[in-house]
Structure 1
Amino acid sequence: MGHKRLPVYLQHRLLCYYEYRFEKTYFKENEILGTISGQLQQEVVMHKCRKLVENVDFFKDLPTTLLLRIVASMRQEIFMTNDVVIKANTVGDCMYFISSGTVAILTKTGREVSMLQSCFYHKQIICHLYDGDHFGEIALIVRNSLRVASVITVEACEVNRLDRIDFLNAILPYPDLLMKIEQIAYDRMMMTKEMDERIHTV
């Protein structure tokens, strides 16, 4: 960092990132996982991510083999405080699962949705999301859909990202399930749009 002459604030963000990313322990997780059997690898991965995936309405009651394919497609990302994870009115191509940390949901105008408004218009939408929560799932199903809200980190966050293309490849052998998920996504999108319109009239 000194050689690159990075400013102090950026040096501090990098140090915070590595402290959070490795929890002060530096090891190669992939190499460790590579020393155990395929069955054990699957069990470890499912233990880490299954609860996150099963919290999504889309994924409830999916076959274990399909859940494994979805979980295997997820990629870990880390965001620092005040990072923009999703920006409203941009095209979405992935969803996120929060492993740890807190994010704030903001309307298209940049205003944070209040708890009172959220609970009144839609019980499942709140102003902050925490460990085990998820966001951005409409982008998995609706091609070229615009994000209806911005998501900004309140603190350092570890998330798992699932890209649309990876999800569609995983569910390709299950066309009936895909149709069911598409209907759930459409219904949820309509409710989200209705909530957003009501908030802007308040």
Structure 2
Amino acid sequence: MSFHKLPADFRQKIHDYYEHRYQGKMFDEESILEELNEPLREEIVNFNCRKLVASMPLFANADPNFVTAMLTKLRFEVFQPGDYIIREGTIGKKMYFIQHGVVSVLTKGSIGMKLMDGSYFGGCCSSVAI
């Protein structure tokens, strides 16, 4: 990164991102999951993610096969403090589930509420920042 002459604060932010993203793991979980057969992959995804969506009304009484199909579409993303996840007025194309951390919902620049572990958001919304 230093050969690109990035400022020290950018280099630190990139370092912090990877530290949080991989949490000391030196392998790519996604590529490992892709190598597994579908039933085993679905079983692992259900084990890891079912609690994240259990509180959502959409999934509460849904067919388990539908929930499994949706869970296999989830993608792990990491955000750093101060990152904007989605800006106010933007029509979202993603749904976010908070596995760990706190997210502040900003309305006209002021914190309106805080979302924590197990919360979810997406679609058209206020600005959301970590």
Q: Calculate the TM-score normalised by the size of structure 1.
A: 0.60
SS in 1 for 2:70: helix
Quote the residue 2:121 is aligned against: 135
Quote the residue 2:129 is aligned against: 152
**One-letter code aligned to 1:150:** S
Aligned-residue Cα RMSD (Å) equals 1.5
Quote the residue 1:77 is aligned against: 77
1:46-195 matches, within 5 Å, as 46-107=46-107, 109-113=108-112, 127-136=113-122, 139=123, 146-147=124-125, 149-153=126-130
Is 1:11 matched up with 2:20? no
SS in 2 for 1:30: helix
SS in 1 for 2:9: helix
Post-superposition CA distance 1:132-177 (Å, at most 9, x none): 11112xx3xxxxxx42x11100xxxxxxxxxxxxxxxxxxxxxxxx
Task: Work out which of the two has the higher radius of gyration on C-alpha atoms and give 1 or 2.
Answer: 1
Structure 2 gaps, min length 5: none
C-alpha spacing 1:30/1:91, structure 2 compared with 1 (3 Å): closer
CA-CA distance at 1:11 after TM superposition = 0.4
Quote the residue 1:180 is aligned against: none
Post-superposition CA distance 1:61-100 (Å, at most 9, x none): 1111100111111111111110001111122222100111
Quote the residue 1:186 is aligned against: none
- 4+ residue segments displaced more than 3 Å: 34-37
How far apart in 2 are the matches of 1:103 and 1:87? 13
How far apart in 2 are the matches of 1:19 and 1:35? 25
Q: Calculate the TM-score normalised by the size of structure 2.
A: 0.91
How far apart in 2 are the matches of 1:34 and 1:135? 27
Looking at both structures, which has the greater relative contact order when contacts are Cα pairs under 8 Å and sequence separation is at least 6? 1
C-alpha spacing 1:47/1:9, structure 2 compared with 1 (3 Å): same
How far apart in 1 are the matches of 2:84 and 2:45? 27
SS in 1 for 2:92: coil
Aligned length: 130
Quote the residue 1:22 is aligned against: 22
How far apart in 2 are the matches of 1:42 and 1:94? 21
How far apart in 2 are the matches of 1:10 and 1:20? 15
**One-letter code aligned to 1:111:** S
CA-CA distance at 1:32 after TM superposition = 2.8
C-alpha spacing 1:105/1:4, structure 2 compared with 1 (3 Å): same
User: More helix per residue: 1 or 2?
Assistant: 1
